[in-house]
Amino acid sequence: MKKLHTIALFGGTFDPVHFGHLRMALELREALGVDEMRILPSRQPRHRESPGVSAEHRRQMLALALAGGGELQLDERELLRPGPTYTVDTLEELRGELGEEVSISFCMGLDSLLTLPNWHRWERLLELAHLVVVARPGWRLPGEGEVAELLERQGGGVGQLHREPCGRLVVREQTLLPISATDIRQLIAAGRSPRYLLPDAVLEYIENNQLYRTATESGP
């Protein structure tokens, strides 16, 4: 069977981007063997509170973090689309642009997978893309319910991401660096340094723009 061009998407708020995100995206790119790994910052995520700083600040920090390395690309489409971010709309748009002969994988954490049945038009997602679920060592998948049924029906392996354009649910075990954006925001608000948790260029941007000094910062 023909090998398809493969694109993976790594979504999140990146408020701010840190080494946990960057390592995860790079390791996933290598483990999946995809041709492109795109970082997909969301404008106004549905499943959590609004981010601390503006879309423009988050975009600029990502651009700084990704400059210099060619392995990860920035896909800005959700930042440019006004209103709430629905993954299904993004995947519809991408599928329309790329056609049927490209394999698209949307990467998410196991926590997100467990909430999948609450996502807008979630059953459509697998008609548009594969879902790659990253689970920490020691993870447990649900034994029953809609997600368990989905795994039973559409569970697959990395090889299928290269041969089929969409429709597989692939679970990958991967270690996460113990870094969180919430901790970084709290360190800064407390007047402490987050250096070595995120790229220096991003820290410099945060300092120059005085971001995250209080819990509810907003930008341009």
Looking at residue 174, its amino acid is Q
- Closest-approach residue to ligand ATP (CB): 12
Here's the x/- map for ligand ATP, 18-47, by CB under 6 A: it reads as --xx--x-----------------------
In the set 151, 158, 176, 189, which binds ligand ATP (CB under 6 A)? 176
Rounded Cα gap, residues 95 and 89, in angstroms: 10
> Where does 76-180 have alpha helices with state H?
77-80, 87-98, 110-115, 122-128, 146-154, 158-163
In the set 15, 28, 131, 166, which binds ligand ATP (CB under 6 A)? 15
Rounded Cα gap, residues 7 and 12, in angstroms: 17
Looking at residue 33, its amino acid is G
Cβ-based nearer residue to ligand ATP, 44 or 180? 180
Cis, peptide link before residue 117, omega less than 30° from 0: no
Cβ-based nearer residue to ligand ATP, 150 or 197? 197
Rounded Cα gap, residues 19 and 177, in angstroms: 8
The whole-angstrom distance between residue 167's C-alpha and the CA centroid of its chain comes to: 18
Per CB under 6 A, the segment of 86-94, 120-128, 172-180, 200-208 that binds ligand ATP is 172-180
Task: List, in sequence order, every beta strand (DSSP E) within the chain.
Answer: 5-12, 36-41, 72-74, 102-109, 130-135, 169-173
Cβ-based nearer residue to ligand ATP, 21 or 29? 21
Per CB under 6 A, the segment of 56-64, 121-129, 175-183, 195-203 that binds ligand ATP is 175-183
The verdict on 109 binding ligand ATP (CB under 6 A) reads yes
The verdict on 179 binding ligand ATP (CB under 6 A) reads yes
Residue with tokens 């790659």: 132
The verdict on 198 binding ligand ATP (CB under 6 A) reads no
**Nearest distance from C-beta of residue 163 to ligand ATP, angstroms:** 25
The verdict on 14 binding ligand ATP (CB under 6 A) reads yes
The verdict on 62 binding ligand ATP (CB under 6 A) reads no
Phi then psi for residue 52, to 5 deg, are -70, -35
Return residues touching ligand ATP (CB under 6 A): 12-15, 20-21, 24, 108-109, 176-177, 179-182
